[in-house]
Each structure stands twice: as C-alpha cells, then as structure tokens.
Amino acid sequence: MELTVYRDFPEGPLPAGILARTEGEVAFRYHEDYLASPAAAPLSLSLPLQAEPYTEEELTPYFRGLLPEGAALENLCRSLGIPQDDYIAMLAACGLDCLGDVIIDPAVYTETRSYEAVSLDQIKEMAGKPGKIDESLEMARLSLAGTQNKCGLFHDPAAPITEGWYQPVGGAPSNYIVKFAREDLIDLMQVEHLSMTCAAACGLDVARTALISPLKPIICVERYDRRLASNETINGLPAPLRRHQEDLTQAFGLLPHAKYRELKPSSVQVIADFLRRRSAQPARDLRAFASLILFNYLIGNCDNHLKNLSILYAPDWQSFILAPAYDLVCTTYFARFSREMGMAIGEHTDIEEVTTADFAILADQLGISMRVLRNIVDTFAEKALPSLREEGTQLASEGYDAAPYIADDIEEDIAPRLEILSSL
C-alpha cells in the first residue's frame, strides 16, 4: 500500500511525501520536488527534511499520533473492518481531514467534498452510539486523536450554536470537534465546559467550547487549527483554513502510549527548554505554559499528559507557538479517576501531595521567577470562582439544571488547592 501525504494549499494539495508499506516494511520519504520547493517544511519536528527515507520506528510516532486511541480506536476499527494495528489502512480510510494541515491520499478529495446538513436531533442520536460516530468519521474521512467518543462537524459561523450544523463529506474540513459523554460519566461534558470557561476567565488561551442538548449534554469544541477562514466556499459555506499543528508526543518522537511518561530530568524542564529554544514567541509561551501547569493543578486536571499539549504552526509552517489549551477537565470531580498527574509538579505526581515547596522547584524548572507564578495565581484567585458560578448560572438558564450544582462541587474541590496557590 502506498499513500501520498499532502499539505493543503489554496491552489490545491501539494504532495509532500509517500508513506508506503512494501513486503511488510513501512517507510516515509519526502518527495524530491517538495524538498526543492521554497515552501518545504517538515511534517513534524520528529521528521526533519531529508532525502533519505524514514524507517517505521522513526515515522510511527507522528503518523500513529494522528489516529484515535483506546476504545475509540477499537470502535472505529471494528466499524471499518480494519485490524487495530494496521495504522496505514486506517490513515487510508480516515486521513482526508487530519489534525493539522495534512491530507492523506486524497484521490477523491477535490471531487466529493461537500457539507450535508444535520439536525440537532441527528447529533443527539450519536450520544452513546459509537456506530453513529464512526459513520460520521467515515463520511468525513476524518482522523481524530484521543480516547473519547467524538466526531468532527462543520458549524456555520453565522448560525447559533444549536443550528447550522453540517456533516463534512469527502475531506471537507470540519471546524468543531463534538464529544459525547459515556452513560456512566454523564456530568463529564458539563465539567469540561465549566473547566474550559474557567480557564479562559483566568487568562489562558483556550479552545472555545459550547454545550448543546441539555438532557444529555454534548460539548462542541471549536478547532483552533481551523479557526481562520479560507477564500473557498463549499456548498455556499465558508470553508475554514487548515493550520498545521502537532502534539508533543509527535514533536518529540514518542509513541502515543508514552504520553504519560515523565521526561528527564523533568517534563516541565524539557518542555520549557524546548519552548525557549524553538518557539517563535518564547516569552509568551513560557508564561502560557506556566499558567497551564498552575491551572491544571488548580482545577484538578490530572490528565495533563504530553498529547494534551500541542504546537501551532504559522500558515507557512516556518515557525510555531504553543497552541491554545484543550481537554482541560476537573478530573478530581470524579472519585473514580486517578489523582496521579500526567506531569509532575516539583517532586510530586500525586495531586494531593503537592506542597508550596514544589512550586519553587517548578519555577526553577521553568526558568522563571516565583513573582511570575504569584502574578498568575493572583488572577486565578480573582477570576476562578466567580467564573464557575457565573457560567453555572448561565447554563441553568439554558436548561442545564444540574450545572450550578456541578459548579458548586468543582468550587469545593478546588478550594484547598487555591489556598495552597494563594500562599506562594
């Protein structure tokens, strides 16, 4: 099997290279013409431009990182009749609208792209029905990383959030990721939305979220890699512009299952040094990274792993900055979830064991002063609790009756951590 990997350009997809499996051997090679092009830039920091082919061991972190994980991958593979370990076949089936600005093997890309209207009731029908979600992914030829049940849809920017939804077909770009809670975690979508709006109120750059369907809440997350408008229309609708991005497991050449690995000497120090050396806006990104670490601690987000940090490239792919934060959830709201954080703070990974002394270590690992951390915390102390109460009240007025009580429970959960932060 041979797949062409493209970058999307206004004048049409530009072939960047070939991902091929021959007699069981998998390799990726950049096209000679692409390497000679002034527009040439690597697909990933882990795949620098070179004429020699990359081995499967070298290419796997990036390309596997484009696919779902866990139960989400199981369900999709079952629906498509593809073995879970055949990531090449999965990319061939679902690679027309990957995360970032990459298109895999678009033989039907320009001929079949369209947006088909879907009603709110049709979106609600997907909740708790992995088969319906997989059907949406297959129609869109969409590849979404992560473990949650989710699909990509297009929302008309001119319409209210409860209307104007479309199913992308044949690689038409989505601009929202729509996520569905499991029956045993019915509060999860409201917890995520409250956590994300709290983060925004606290000054973090975050992906924008909204809830639909009060009886069985569904969260709609605006794609920051599709936020800008292109010059193209599809079925009379403004097609979004693809922006390239990759998560840190891809950039660091780590397989998805290594996302919880603590890097040496510490994940915080490695990432801070990386941003300082490579980011187009290192000062901005170091503060954003510090804010994200502190907010994850405050809100109780123990799922703060390497795949939940990404870099967002400039349209020409020649530079990048830290991407907006996403997947911020108060996981400590749920008693069944682990208190072990995906990234250590100071000397501790158990969120209950973190002390003020750990934040002095954190500041040293980040290479910033405690004064910067205190300034960030001052904003949290002013904004966090009022934003939770305000958003809970607003959601209640929209029919989400449990939202104020969920917000109260989150407030109670974060209070001891806010006290620790306020004592820095």
Alpha-helical (H) ranges within 141-220 are 188-201
Backbone angles phi, psi at 12, to 5 degrees: 130, 160
Strand-pairing partners, residue 155, are 165
CA distance 253 to 238: 35
Cβ burial, residue 334 (10 Å; 0-12/13-18/19+) = middle
Cα gap 349→251, rounded to integer Å: 23
Cβ neighbours of 328 (radius 10 Å): 26
Beta strands (DSSP E) in 138-277 are 149-155, 165-169, 176-180, 209-212, 218-222, 229-234, 237-240, 245-247
> Which pLDDT score, from 0 to 100, does residue 357 have?
97
Neighbours of 79 (CB within 10 A): 17
Mapped onto helix, strand or coil, the DSSP state of residue 332 is helix
* DSSP label at residue 160: -
Report CA Rg, the chain: 21
Report domain 245-422's class: mainly alpha
CA angle 277, 281, 282 (to 5 degrees): 40
φ/ψ of residue 407, rounded to 5: -60, -40
Task: Write down the residue that tokens 């061939």 correspond to.
Answer: 92
Encoding tokens for residue 355? Answer: 């002390």
pLDDT value of residue 131: 56
d(CA 74, CA 286): 37
Instruction: Compute the half-sphere exposure of residue 402: CA atoms within 13 Å on the CB side of its CA.
Output: 13
Q: Are 33 and 14 in contact (CB under 8 A)?
A: no
How many CB atoms sit inside 10 A of residue 84's CB?
12
Relative to beta strand 176-180, strand 149-155 is antiparallel
**pLDDT in the model for residue 183:** 78
Do the strands 229-234 and 237-240 form a parallel or antiparallel pair, or are they unpaired?
Answer: antiparallel
Of 125, 202, 112, residue with least CA distance to 165: 125
* Average pLDDT by stretches of 10, the chain with 424 residues: 87 89 92 95 98 97 85 72 82 83 73 88 77 49 54 93 92 90 86 98 98 93 88 90 95 93 96 98 98 98 95 95 97 93 96 97 97 98 98 98 98 97 96
Whether 227 and 242 have beta carbons less than 8 Å apart is answered as: no
What is the per-residue pLDDT for 140? 44
* Residues 190 and 402: beta-carbon distance below 8 Å: yes
Domain boundaries, the chain: 245-422
Residues 6+ apart with CB under 8 A from 292: 204, 304, 309, 325
Torsion over CA: 113, 117, 120, 124 (sign): negative
- In 3D space, the residue among 292, 270, 282 whose CA is nearest the CA of residue 320 turns out to be 282
Sequence-distant (6+) residues with CB within 8 A of 331 are 300, 301, 302, 303, 337, 338
Token pair listed for 263: 């890097």
Question: Which one, of 290, 289, 299, 378, lies nearest residue 331 by Cα?
Answer: 299
